[in-house]
Chains A and B, each alone.
Chain A
Amino acid sequence: MKETIFSIPAPLSPTANLVKFSWEGMHPKETFSIVAGLHGDQLNSIYLCSQLIQFLDAVAKGIEPGYRLKGRVQVIPAANLLALQEGTRLWSFDDLDMDLTFPGNAQGELAEQIADAVFKHTVDSQYGIVLHTAADHYEDAPHLVCLNPDSVTKDLARSLGPEIARKPEESPAFRLKLYYRWINQGIKAVIVSAGKPHQLNQPLCKTLFSGLVNALLWTGVLTCNQKKPRKHTVEFFDSGCEQLIHAGAAGLFIPMAKPGASLKKGEKVGEVVDLYTGAILDSPVASADGSLVTLRDYPIVYQKEPLAVLLGKRKFRFWPF
């Protein structure tokens, strides 16, 4: 079912409608919510939702052999519709980051009203996934983000496919995210981040799509008589395992590794070269062995900017007696 959960009338323009798709089995006990497009330039996640909507429509019509809906699934594929229509990360009218406005405010500004609608329509879920891509100018290897995951959340993460999960530190800004508001309500939730903004990577979406279907099977909201849910291996990294590699100089960054690669200590991540002469100004290297989870995609870099995030073994401050 497609329903409009919030209407955005605009002066001299057609009304934009925030839509939610939902499907449910005969006796739904649990709800699984998926939200994408909190930033208008995250096209992979929006495309991924379209694939899922197509699949679940087919399941509901009984034309997807073996699959049957048992619980309730709901998908909000493009939360920041106004930014999406503008082709930007944020809606330029208010420059508010929608993923820093939760739980929203029904009486507030438009971004807060939309956040309120998204939150209210998903807060009664048992499971949740927020789909993201990397921040502007970066590319993420497919990975998961989960704050202080319990065993159920860890199993949800293991059902999704990516082999890496980051456990961030809580911060004031993090507490304004939809994901945080969900877990604060007891929803078992995970952020999936993959690819880069402003780009559609179909092979990547295909891989992530399989993971999402597997997660629906694992939770039991979807069943399949020909398929059992798979449990993948996931390595969980806390923030102490993250090594940031910064640009020692400003210029053009030429990458020499790819997101998802395993790097050895001392291995080059890339080079920063002079914008005009091409002379090598900096050759950032991995400071320890690790997995490259985020890499700079846009070549123009300022000095001191992070170029890459490596996930390695935790550095102990003191000898771990």
Chain B
Amino acid sequence: MERQAIVSYQTPSGQTVKIIKHSFLSIRRWPVKRVAFVAGLHGNELEGIYLCHLLTRHLRGLQASQPEAFKGEVHIYPAINPQAIATGNRLWPFFSVDMNRLLGGENGKSLPAQIAGALLDDLKSSANIVVDFHASNLHLNEVPQIRIIDGFHKKLIPLAVHCNTDLVWVHPPSPVFESTLGYNLNRAKVRALIVESGTCLRLNCDFANSLFNGMLNLLYQTGVLVPAEPPPPVEHPLMVQPSQVALLQSAHAGLFVGHTKLRQHVRKGDTLGEVIDPADGGLLQKVTAPETGFLFTLREHPLVYPGSPLARIAIKETDLL
């Protein structure tokens, strides 16, 4: 394994912060493909950082025992926003800047914008396929899923089905995505899968293990990694478009109390939770499933305002290709 700092900078008290890339190179002169895993763009999303740890540990062992298995290259960027990770914050500290909103044009030359630009350049020169790991924000809990912007789906779905996620969600483009890493990689013809799993500041080992198997399978299916023993087969994900997703939102300000668990099939009319008025003990809203389907998002943060998302249900699968 090679370790390299793609960019570094000095802190005011003299330490050097390095954005690290771990590379597992191929035994072949011309690698079959080059796959990169990226985590920690948002400093409070720890699921991907843990997943990078699992991958690095596994690949180190495999490189020691079966170097011939590496037909392609694997690059792991485990912590893109180290100082935000150190404080458990989503945003780049000091400036409250979202590192995943700084790409795709002239967005200033602030330090986080320089780092984001350096990451994009390094990925474009190092990888054909990128997997960018995210967790949800403090508010929601998500089953492992891949989100794909409509228009990129024909190239991405054939890869996404190998990743052992519960769901692949193809959604329409929106201006807000145009400054993200995933969008700009796909625009640059580097196929980028955006994985969303769990909630921030927490680790869900079940989700991480599912995704770990999925990433090994992705490496195997793309011919990058061909070990003596192939990885276990993975489940085919549900494929949905926005019209097949029911979003439940709070109609009131209050506390959401969940009465169900994520990652299960619910029937129309099932109670998912309630929004209560904490001051007078009243029930403000009974939250029930509007359709039968798969519950893939559930509110984690109890505090809600009108419009706050409470749950998402995948109501019907579709053929997206």
Closest residue on chain B to residue A82 by CB atoms: B305
Q: Residue A89 at the B interface, CB < 8 A? A: yes
Q: Is the CB of A171 within 8 A of B11?
A: no
Q: Is the CB of A11 within 8 A of B106?
A: no
Closest residue on chain B to residue A41 by CB atoms: B96
Enumerate chain B residues within 8 angstroms of A302, measured Cβ to Cβ: 9-12, 94, 111
Say whether, besides A108-B307, A305-B111, A168 and B106 are in contact (CB < 8 Å): yes
- How many A-B pairs fall under 8 Å by CB? 118
Q: Is the CB of B96 within 8 A of A12?
A: no
Q: Is the CB of A176 within 8 A of B253?
A: no
Contact check: which of A108, A109, A169, A251 meets B106 at CB < 8 Å? Answer: A169
Q: How far is the CA of A304 from the CA of B277 in the complex (A)?
A: 49
Per the 8 Å Cβ criterion, residues 86-106 of A in contact with B are 89-90, 93-95, 97, 100-101
Closest residue on chain A to residue B309 by CB atoms: A109
Q: Is the CB of A175 within 8 A of B175?
A: yes
Q: How far is the CA of A304 from the CA of B115 in the complex (A)?
A: 10
Enumerate chain B residues within 8 angstroms of A113, measured Cβ to Cβ: 306-307
Q: How far is the CA of A112 from the CA of B307 in the complex (A)?
A: 10
Q: Residue B57 at the A interface, CB < 8 A? A: no
Enumerate chain B residues within 8 angstroms of A250, measured Cβ to Cβ: 9-14
Q: Residue A200 at the B interface, CB < 8 A? A: no
Q: How large is the interface on A (under 10, 10 to 19, 20 to 34, 35 or more residues)?
A: 35 or more
Closest residue on chain B to residue A303 by CB atoms: B10
Q: Is the CB of A304 within 8 A of B252?
A: no
Enumerate chain B residues within 8 angstroms of A204, measured Cβ to Cβ: none
Q: Is the CB of A137 within 8 A of B11?
A: no
Closest-CB distance, B93 to chain A (whole angstroms): 10
The stretch from B66-74, B97-105, B221-229, B265-273 touching chain A is B97-105
Contact check: which of A93, A110, A173, A275 meets B13 at CB < 8 Å? Answer: A275
Interface string of A1-31 (1 = CB under 8 A from B): 0000000111110000000000000000000
Q: Residue B278 at the A interface, CB < 8 A? A: yes
Closest residue on chain B to residue A305 by CB atoms: B111
Enumerate chain A residues within 8 angstroms of B107, measured Cβ to Cβ: 171-174
Interface string of B243-266 (1 = CB under 8 A from A): 000000100111100000000000
Enumerate chain A residues within 8 angstroms of B13, measured Cβ to Cβ: 250, 275-276
Q: Residue B317 at the A interface, CB < 8 A? A: no
Say whether, besides A250-B11, A300-B12, A303-B9, A171 and B305 are in contact (CB < 8 Å): no
Enumerate chain A residues within 8 angstroms of B305, measured Cβ to Cβ: 8-11, 93, 110
Q: Is the CB of A301 within 8 A of B106?
A: no
Contact check: which of B9, B10, B95, B109 meets A136 at CB < 8 Å? Answer: B95
Q: Is the CB of B253 within 8 A of A9?
A: yes
Enumerate chain B residues within 8 angstroms of A136, measured Cβ to Cβ: 94-96
Enumerate chain B residues within 8 angstroms of A110, measured Cβ to Cβ: 305-308
Enumerate chain A residues within 8 angstroms of B105, measured Cβ to Cβ: 169-174
Q: Is the CB of B96 within 8 A of A89?
A: yes
Per the 8 Å Cβ criterion, residues 51-94 of A in contact with B are 89-90, 93-94
Enumerate chain A residues within 8 angstroms of B178, measured Cβ to Cβ: 172, 175
Q: Is the CB of A251 within 8 A of B101?
A: no
Enumerate chain B residues within 8 angstroms of A249, measured Cβ to Cβ: 10
Closest-CB distance, A135 to chain B (whole angstroms): 7
Say whether, besides A89-B96, A135-B95, A173-B107, A11 and B254 are in contact (CB < 8 Å): yes
Q: Residue A306 at the B interface, CB < 8 A? A: yes
Q: How far is the CA of A113 from the CA of B250 in the complex (A)?
A: 13
Per the 8 Å Cβ criterion, residues 8-36 of B in contact with A are 9-14
Known interface pairs A100-B101, A276-B13, A303-B9; 5 further A-B residue pairs with C-beta atoms within 8 A, sorted by A's residue number = A110-B307, A137-B94, A171-B107, A300-B12, A302-B11
- 15 A-B pairs within 8 Å (CB atoms) are namely A11-B254, A11-B304, A95-B96, A100-B101, A109-B307, A113-B307, A136-B94, A171-B105, A172-B105, A176-B175, A249-B10, A250-B14, A302-B94, A306-B108, A306-B110
**Across the A-B interface, the 3 shortest Cβ-Cβ residue pairs:** A171-B105, A172-B178, A303-B10
